[in-house]
Structure 1
């Protein structure tokens, strides 16, 4: 009987999927205003020199949030929340749900405690790529809705909501259009997933080796913030290209978007929205990993 009360060291794929999807949806809801600000900053193009010299509309995280709230209403900061939740249910559930099984497959279940960092990175790259290939349509619709600004009176928006956006894109652009930007999206999410999961896994293991640290809320928050920092440093250039391709259909390819952005705006354009991106990813990872760990513990008794 006593053995039954011991924490479980492993939970099933479906249990992991449920906990990670729940955690990802909560993190998405809490942080989407920063994500909306990040998308607007990334889509904002540099004003041509000598043509009025006007300041950019969006400036910094708080400035962008304030501008959107003032001009479009507070609810506009949650534009894209429905496809965002769709995305997290699918992508958030799969990328973490598959991480453990893929890692075990790569190293063998008997050696899972001795996994090297590069094996964690490889497992996370694979699960991130698989998950976003399935979830790409939800990402596309989320970006399209977030990119919508305030329109003049009498001018209707492109989409009336998430479901309308899915149907409109398919009707006007074809089914394949839902996978627009798949290349940079796979690259971005595979890399960011590797940065997040592998760094969280590794940072947490490292912290737990320090005398006095245990696997508690504080350790999980530290590891989550570390995962967010690594993710935004590595993934920001790909994230900018992905956002621009999904939000603006004038680019012919990933390479075309990369070259035009670099030529017209310079290298640092790839780090537009860095602070809101880190603010969002740092807080997103802290909320997500903390919720995930606690959900495993309280719902399924996992250690």
Structure 2
């Protein structure tokens, strides 16, 4: 009987500029694939006019056109959107290196979760204003002024939106409105995101092989599980964040995350804290799967340079 030799070890990730490049490409893939369902999710969270995901989809496309599903993202430079993911993956790689006790260690899943949580907190510095502008644009109804004349829209685009918010409320209460709500979401979300991905990677790896050598099909499966884990860990906080960032005026008090959550629950019950979760889960499977797959494959290619 021929003995099968284990696959050669995969070279360690460099964790420098490569993370930024790979993160940018991963972010772009996430936008193209996941943005339409994200728009539906946000509209369901902030606006009670829709009966459900399908009603929101039909009304949006019928009244505003297909590209309304890409509001808040495609109007921004894709490289800028990718920068959020670039910072996230770079911070995650760096924190993993800090938590490792020896080079090339396969970290325990709890350490992966800690590194993910830390990366999420760091990433909030960029993701908070990006998410704010995205939500403000997604929550606007009607076609763009450029194609439909005076449509009654408040903002022409993300840049115009940021100018309005800074002029009226300043940077902290304008552009960084909902920052603490973003952190409250990102910490548990990315703990679940990365630990879920690593857990699935290891389960899908054949004995004697390295989890870092998985083929694209299995990376997609592992990434999809990571995306599912992301939302399972944080969804009520995402509803709070969307509400806070979309409201006209800044939230009051330092505990607004909890007071807002309490208010949502009081007015709509537990269902209000999960409104929009169906399109969110559906979106997370291909979006997170492609994000991790593009990131991993790009890193492998860059490591050969």
245-254 or 12-21, which deviates more: 245-254
Cα pair distance change 1:102/1:109, threshold 3 Å: farther
2:118 equivalent to 1:126: yes
Q: Which residue of 1 aligns with 2:298?
A: 295
2:232 equivalent to 1:240: no
2:140 equivalent to 1:148: yes
Deviations, residues 129-186 of structure 1 (Å, cap 9, x unaligned) = 0011233211111110011012898453111111111111101111112111111101
Cα pair distance change 1:155/1:28, threshold 3 Å: closer
Deviation at 1:89, TM superposition (A): 2.3
Give the 3-state SS of the residue equivalent to 2:142 in structure 1.
coil
Distance 2:170 2:102 in 1: 44
Give the 3-state SS of the residue equivalent to 1:149 in structure 2.
coil
Choose from 152, 163, 168 the match for 1:172. 168
Deviation at 1:255, TM superposition (A): 2.3
Cα pair distance change 1:292/1:244, threshold 3 Å: same
Tell me the TM-score normalized by structure 2. Answer: 0.86
Cα pair distance change 1:114/1:95, threshold 3 Å: same
Give the 3-state SS of the residue equivalent to 2:39 in structure 1.
helix
Distance 1:66 1:163 in 2: 28
Deviations, residues 52-99 of structure 1 (Å, cap 9, x unaligned) = xxxxx3233333222100011112111101348466323211111121
Give the 3-state SS of the residue equivalent to 1:115 in structure 2.
coil
Where structure 1 has 5 or more consecutive residues not aligned to the other structure, the ranges are: 1-5, 46-56
Alignment of 1:103-252 (within 5 A): 103-110=96-103, 112-150=104-142, 154-176=150-172, 177-209=174-206, 215-249=214-248, 251-252=251-252
Distance 2:288 2:18 in 1: 20
2:95 equivalent to 1:102: yes
Distance 2:271 2:67 in 1: 30
Deviations, residues 205-252 of structure 1 (Å, cap 9, x unaligned) = 222145899610121011011111111111110110001111113553
Distance 2:34 2:117 in 1: 24
Give the 3-state SS of the residue equivalent to 1:10 in structure 2.
coil
Q: Give runs of ≥4 in structure 1 deviating > 3 Å.
A: 82-88, 151-155, 209-214, 249-252
**What is the number of residues matched between the two proteins?**
285
Tell me the TM-score normalized by structure 1. Answer: 0.86
